Amino acid sequence: MSLLTEPARAKLNLTLLVHGRRADGYHELESLVAFADLGDELSLEAGDAPVLDVTGPFASAIDGDNLLERVSRAAAGHVPGLSTGRIGLEKELPVAAGLGGGSADAAAFLRLLMRVEPERLTNNIAETIANALGSDILACLRSETVLMQGRGEQLTPVQGLPRAGIVMANPGVPLSAAEIYGGLGASRLPDNFVPAIVRLDFDRSFDRLAGHLESRGNDLQATAVTRAPAIADVLNALEALDGASCVRLSGSGPTCFALFEDVERAQGQADALAAAHPEWWVRATAIGD
């Protein structure tokens, strides 16, 4: 097996509605999820025994039993004798940032293993593993724009997402998703609650996308700001950028983003924001085709 590589693209919750708590303890969600043109990178090379090498600016934040090791154990359970080898992770995304970095890494690793054993590690098995290990790993496995419902396992493809610029900023205060959801105080849903299936088609229109985002928000944002007041400073700074729209928190935070119709303008505004706040993690990227 030669060296294989796979991108682990950052996940952005462009919208996030929490309907309430289910009987199983999970929160019932509805979230428009898109994937950015940046993220971590996974590699896999044949070796005698599994070895994990983590490099990159956020390598030191990866410690102990992580999702990649859990994916390896789960995949071996479904495919006896599955060979892995040397696993490389270039960790470019901050950890506990609301960008699904760990889930994206796990999903990219699953895609690598599927390339090694395509006949035995099928897509159905990979999706089973993804669902068992985390609520948003299935969406990251597909790495395409979807409407995510349920606890994250119900995915409906979204059509016509336009090309758009994104400026992301993180104040460097890691947040636990469990803490944010726990502090939400969501009401218990009736046992017979059934979410409506929503189908979206933006017809490559930025105005249609922006209008949809403006009509919805992120139900976790207020709780996250309470837990980490620095998020409010990030949101205010993004709001002040020239051409920014639909400014909000991604996922459980603390990363926030602003949407731009022009990708080049997003890059210029990100450069200015990074110069004004060198203590923040700031990146410009794009979503859409």
Question: What one-letter code names the amino acid at 153?
Answer: E
39 labelled ligand-binding: no
Is 11 catalytic? The answer is yes
Cβ-Cβ contacts under 8 Å for 81 (sequence gap 6 or more): none
Residue ranges in 79-171 assigned as alpha helix (H): 101-116, 123-133, 137-142
Phi, psi of 48 (to 5 degrees): -70, -30
CATH of the domain at 108: 3.30.230.10
CATH of the domain at 246: 3.30.70.890
Question: What one-letter code names the amino acid at 79?
Answer: V
- The percent of residues in the chain predicted with pLDDT above 70, rounded, is 98
104 labelled ligand-binding: yes
Q: Give the DSSP letter string of 125-147.
A: HHHHHHHHH-TTHHHHHHTS-EE
Residues 137 and 168 in one domain: no
Do 239 and 269 form a contact (C-beta atoms < 8 A)?
no
Do 117 and 79 form a contact (C-beta atoms < 8 A)?
yes
The mean of the pLDDT values for the chain is: 93
For the segment 27-45, what is each residue's pLDDT rounded down to a tens digit? 999 999 999 999 999 999 9
Q: Exactly one of 40, 105, 136, 219 is catalytic; which is it?
A: 136
Paired with 27 in beta bridges are: 21
Query: What is the end-to-end Cα distance of the chain in Å, rounded?
Result: 31
Structural domain for 221, as ranges: 161-287
Final residue belonging to a domain, choices 122, 137, 156: 156
For the segment 185-205, what is each residue's pLDDT rounded down to a tens digit? 999 999 888 888 889 999 999
Residues 76 and 129 in one domain: yes
pLDDT for residue 81: 84
Residues 137 and 169 in one domain: no
100 labelled ligand-binding: yes
- Name which of 261, 164, 161, 262 is nearest 204 in CA terms: 161
- Name which of 24, 32, 75 is nearest 209 in CA terms: 32
Q: Is beta strand 154-157 parallel, antiparallel or unpaired with respect to 146-150?
A: antiparallel
- Rounded to the nearest 10°, the torsion over CA 57, 61, 67, 72 is 70
Q: Which residue has the tokens 């993804």?
A: 130
51 labelled ligand-binding: no
Residues 113 and 192 in one domain: no
Residues 101 and 175 in one domain: no
For the segment 215-252, what is each residue's pLDDT rounded down to a tens digit? 999 999 999 999 999 999 999 999 999 999 999 999 99
Residues 90 and 71 in one domain: yes
pLDDT for residue 1: 56
Residues 145 and 16 in one domain: yes
User: Is the bond leading into 174 cis (omega within 30 degrees of zero)?
Assistant: no
Final residue belonging to a domain, choices 127, 156, 185: 156
Residues 105 and 189 in one domain: no
Residues 97 and 221 in one domain: no
pLDDT for residue 89: 95
pLDDT bucket at 180, cuts 50 / 70 / 90: very high
Q: Which residue has the tokens 């909000």?
A: 248
Q: How many domains does the chain have?
A: 2
pLDDT for residue 65: 62
- State the CB neighbour count (10 A cutoff) for residue 269: 23
Final residue belonging to a domain, choices 105, 127, 156: 156
Order of strands across the sheet with 164-170? 245-249, 256-260, 164-170, 281-287
Distance CA 170, CA 187 (A): 29
Residues 14 and 97 in one domain: yes
101 labelled ligand-binding: yes
The conformation of residue 41, written as its DSSP 8-state character, comes to E
Work out the angle at residue 287's Cα, subtended by the Cα atoms of residues 228 and 33, and round it to the nearest 5 degrees. 60
Residues 143 and 260 in one domain: no
Residues 208 and 246 in one domain: yes
pLDDT bucket at 48, cuts 50 / 70 / 90: low
pLDDT for residue 29: 95
For the segment 54-100, what is each residue's pLDDT rounded down to a tens digit? 999 999 988 766 788 899 889 989 988 887 888 999 999 999 999 99
For the segment 103-156, what is each residue's pLDDT rounded down to a tens digit? 999 999 999 999 998 999 999 999 999 999 988 999 999 999 999 999 999 999
pLDDT for residue 83: 76
Q: Exactly one of 11, 91, 105, 219 is catalytic; which is it?
A: 11
pLDDT for residue 64: 61
pLDDT for residue 15: 98
